Structure 1
């Protein structure tokens, strides 16, 4: 049991939260929720021991292992994937090495009666008790199993970590955490860089094998599937619900309704009391009653209504220019990088107005196909063609990071805006939740979600009839994802969507292109039907 007692955090005299107390029990699966800026990540870092609270403490039994996966990692690239993941067992290897060293020392020493000799025996005994109490584990097999579960292939095991993207290195760090079998796993946005199958693998691990878990996530399906408790951080305090995210939303609405009713009743009481005081003030026969009611008002504790995040993305794609009947044609396209074949002889035809999804594990070629369609890369054979009068709007996976960090929000948009639209930049930015002085902020200080919203503004400055979105929801909060989804549903152009977010994908596409084993397979079904048919939600059906 881990106890959080009277935590308080202050920044520059302002209180982020105060008097926060809760207990994390074995097997609790907790979603830490709250609007951006409420203090979720700060609270998680304090529990992890990465940051200190202004007041209060986190206490846990001796030898409790708490593992923390932050949103952004600072990794070193000086070993292979397998070696890096094996560091999860570093403490075990060090324990074994120390035992061997001490035993050799005992073999060579002859001062059997000395205190130093007795101390070494005691150390060996203590280490031996700890070491032999560990379950008999094939560490290499466990490392390989975890890495494969998170999407790595056999040939990846001995590649240098420097060859992998930040998302893949995040998976290595996640594998290390899972292999440690900690008492508490803390995860801050763990699904941003992993594909659907790996998310499902992670869900199964957290539900069936992990002990206590606390997670911050904007992936609704993920947190609903793994959590049984929700702690909401709001207005400097917390509310604790024994419920998953969807149930918590309903309970929170009930709570606000009761708060609102109590608040209205209290306001009526205050108004009536003030009216009585004003009416009978100075009336001798009512002096005691007036004084009593004045004291009551002084002692009255105002009822607060939980804040509601009223900021909302206003997103509507402009009407699409008319295009030809066929938007995209791919004929016998093949692509390799050295000896690694991404896909070969791929074919696809996407008609005007169709909404399609590209699905498959990371590294199977989804982003590569998008780049080939856009002529950003050369292919080894075949041809990709855009249809007549196609105007493309492209949101790349790293779109947010492509913006100049030295520019302000306003300058970023002014740089690409043309004609009369430049007169309305402030209004457009306001619709994307960049109001007032926000427009003068540098891109470098923006959060991941703010950068994604700003990239969306750039995407909407010119009407397009082919939207290509590669993981557009990374860093977007749940409300913004819902708004984007509704806008895409009503978008009248052609859509190609790559996403690992099952909740976001549902209801968005009527055709699926599956990237698997160097092939591109066309499925004439919705993403919902595809997932159900493959029974992908059940780990047993994933061929790892």
Structure 2
């Protein structure tokens, strides 16, 4: 489909790619990953011909249809409705529609056979191209990406950048290309839209290459991972989680090879030194020196995962109640967000505030942070609460003429330069990077500076609005480590599920214009919510603050006790079967991703059959477990 051979691309004196190779095959679903600055977005531009390689080739079929989503599309301007913009994808159908309209108008005065034949031909082609359903398809995709029926009638120019990008994505998806090149497609998307896009891409029959920092998104879509690193492209035959495991294994092997080679080199050097002093052994010494010079050296493994090695301190701890919300109501013209609701953030809470766009997450966060005072009710900070509020607009508050280090020094004068340099190092600003001026930094680099500032504040309460935007996976991992070490209280809005699952110990969401709470991690919330959507239940859900009176548990009868013991034993056995079958499914997935299998039609068909059978058995076991777990819960209640 697309063949990249010995690709070299230089920017100034730096080779971003150095004789890199990659072959994208029909139906491939690939995640293109790597740290910021390793050339992921550049490679996509090279593929579509926006950039020209310094040397090497990128070859593909002439009629290959490529759908390319990138941040440049934000500059597209139109005063037409977003439905009209999305339907621009149907170029030929739109042309035929116009021609048919013109012919119908001519028929009002000209009933000639020529006009009738032309009209018949155009209508047949229009129908063959499924022209009568294109508006429905456009409606369907825009709805999936979060646009209401009313919003689809609004002009593109009235939407913010993130929403405009969704419209451009809808237009690309409607073109049904042979291959999709998607550069950070989930940026500015809410969780429901991300999940819809996941389902769409899973069913997409063409090839896909995705650049994304959302590892959960990648894991659910991709079957292969390609790492861009040190000018090379390295293929891993699995999703992102597989890549992490495989890379660790490869790194371990490489590290052992490096240590063994270094030991051999030292041994050779000692022998050479000993032989060199003896005339009779001088020739042998020279021979060993030449052999040592010709030896192909194994490189040591670089540490791609720096750890946060400093502690976050604040001068005074807060009281038990950090923020108390009472009878909060908030409305915009024609839109009610919150109605007579409340909540309490307690010391040590790490809350993920989640939900669809337009439900009021950022509004509620601003109320909590004291950045929005136009609401009814009371929002009150507790005793000794000192707060830092991070939001994307704060990137604009950075002083462009300051260096990175001087920006932090001005904000956190109590910290020494050594402490600040250590913090910057954790956010990937090492050495002389600290003396770069803010004005030359990229959006992602500015985000890291703003986050570093937020974490140097003498604050025991953090309010963070989309802190992972513009961060690569390495930077997200650093932020996770930092917030896991943070001993204060925090509330965060983010669409990055991996980030939320590793940071939050409580979930807040807005439902029926009220703040609701789930007392657990994001993954636990997702599992609970999935069951709730199938079978509504209010056992775990509660309104914040307004606690329901606890029900006294009745002791089970003797028969119930025996039945409960039996069911629990069955559950343990079932969990072991699920684990075994899950491993079998995973092994088959890995096998399907190997070239030996997918390049052989017979083997591919046989292994696909085995995989589908194992997956069906696995799903059946999961369903059986859920039913059994519900029976046990009923017996225990």
- Cα deviation for residue 401 of structure 1 reads 3.7
Residue 478 of structure 1, aligned match among 462, 473, 482:
473
Corresponding residue of 1:367: 362
TM-score by length of 2: 0.74
Which residue in 1 is equivalent to 2:317? 322
- Bigger Cα displacement from structure 2, 56-65 vs 358-367: 56-65
TM, length-normalised to structure 1 = 0.85
RCO comparison, higher one (Cα < 8 Å, 6+):
1
1:535 alignment partner, SS class: helix
Counterparts of 2:104 and 2:131 in 1: how far apart (Å)?
21
Secondary structure, counterpart of 1:364 in structure 2:
coil
Give the alignment partner of residue 182 of structure 1, picking from 157, 177, 182: 177
| Alignment pair present for 1:244 and 2:245 | no
Determine if contact 1:358/1:496 at 8 Å carries over to the other structure: yes
Match for residue 29 of structure 1? Answer: 29
Partner of 2:431 in structure 1? 436
| Worse-matched range after superposition: 180-189 or 396-405 | 396-405
Structure showing the higher helix proportion among its residues: 2
1:296-315 alignment, distance < 5 Å: 296-297=291-292, 299-305=294-300, 307-309=302-304, 311-314=306-309
Contact 1:312 1:480 in 2 (8 A): no
Inter-CA distance 176–506: structure 2 relative to 1 (3 Å threshold): same
Residue matched to 1:43: 43
Equivalent residue, structure 2, for 1:118: none
Residues 157-168 of structure 1 aligned to structure 2 (within 5 Å):
157-168=152-163
> Do residues 382 (structure 1) and 383 (structure 2) align?
no
> Which piece of structure 1 moves more, 21-30 or 162-171?
162-171
- Provide the residue aligned with 2:329 in structure 1: 334
Query: Which aligned pairs between 1:419-458 and structure 2 lie closer than 5 A?
Result: 419=414, 421=416, 425-458=420-453
Query: Displacement, 1:492?
Result: 2.5
Contact 2:10 2:16 in 1 (8 A): yes
Deviation at 1:58, TM superposition (A): 2.1
Deviation at residue 274 of structure 1 after TM alignment = 5.6
Structure 1 residues 115-169: Cα deviation after superposition (integer angstroms, max 9, x where no partner): xxxxxx9xx99x9998665345612211121112112222211223333222222
**RMSD value, Cα:** 3.6
Q: 1:232: which partner in 2?
A: 227
* Structure 2 unmatched ranges of 5 or more: 537-637
Q: Within the alignment, does 1:3 sit opposite 2:16 as a pair?
A: no
Match of 1:223 among 176, 199, 218: 218
Q: Quote the Cα distance in structure 2 between the aligned partners of 1:22 and 1:103.
A: 52
Q: Separation in 2 of the partners of 1:185 and 1:311?
A: 33
Aligned to 2:57: 57
Post-superposition offset of 1:171: 1.5
Query: Residue 145 of structure 1 corresponds to which residue in structure 2?
Result: 140
Shift in Å, 1:213: 0.9
Q: Corresponding residue for 2:575?
A: none
Alpha-carbon distance in 1 for matches of 2:289, 2:415? 60
- 1:462-501 equivalences under 5 Å are 462-501=457-496
In the TM superposition, what whole-angstrom CA distance separates every residue of 1:349-404 from its partner, at most 9, and x where no partner exists? 22222222211101110111122233333434222222222211111143334323
CA separation of 1:28 and 1:178: change in aligned 2, threshold 3 A: same
Aligned length: 527
Q: Conserved in 1, the CA contact under 8 Å of 2:228 and 2:234?
A: yes
C-alpha distance 425-144 of structure 1, shift in aligned 2 (>3 A): same
The alpha carbon displacement at 1:531 in A equals: 1.0
Residue 75 (structure 1) aligns with: 76
Q: Which region of structure 1 is more displaced relative to structure 2, 358-367 or 404-413?
A: 404-413
- Measured at CA, do residues 147 and 517 of structure 1 come closer, stay the same or move farther in structure 2, by a change above 3 Å? farther
Give the superposition deviation at 1:100: 7.9
Instruction: Quote the Cα distance in structure 2 between the aligned partners of 1:494 and 1:283.
Output: 71
| Distance in 2 (alpha carbons) for counterparts of 1:453 and 1:222 | 22
* Residues 229/172 of structure 1: CA separation in 2 closer, same or farther (3 Å cut): same
Are the aligned partners of 2:387 and 2:463 in contact in 1 as well (CA < 8 Å)?
yes
In 2, are the aligned partners of 1:315 and 1:483 still within 8 Å (CA)?
A: no
- Counterparts of 1:480 and 1:540, CA distance in 2: 39
Task: Provide the rounded CA distance (Å) in 1 between the counterparts of 2:416 and 2:142.
Answer: 49
CA distance in 2: counterparts of 1:426 and 1:303, whole angstroms: 32
2:308/2:482 contact within 8 Å kept = no
Q: Name the structure 2 match of 1:115.
A: none
Using the alignment, how far apart are the partners of 2:396 and 2:440 within structure 1? 12
1:94/1:443 Cα in 2 relative to 1: closer, same or farther (>3 Å)?
A: farther
SS in 2 for 1:154: coil
> Aligned with 1:138: secondary structure?
helix
SS, match of residue 370 in structure 2:
coil
SS at match of 2:311: coil
How big is the shift at 1:231? 0.9
1:71–1:190 contact (8 Å) kept in structure 2: no
Deviations 1:438-483 (A, max 9, x none): 2232223223332222112221333222211111112222233223
Distance 1:285 1:133 in 2: 89
Distance 2:281 2:519 in 1: 81
Given that 1:315 and 1:484 are in contact with CA atoms closer than 8 Å, whether structure 2 keeps it comes out as no
Cα deviation for residue 261 of structure 1 reads 3.4
**2:411 aligned counterpart, secondary structure:** coil
- Given that 2:8 and 2:18 are in contact with CA atoms closer than 8 Å, whether structure 1 keeps it comes out as yes
CA distance in 1, matches of 2:311, 2:387: 17
Deviates more, 1:32-41 or 1:294-303: 294-303
Name the CA shift for 1:235/1:307 in 2 (closer, same or farther; >3 Å). Answer: farther
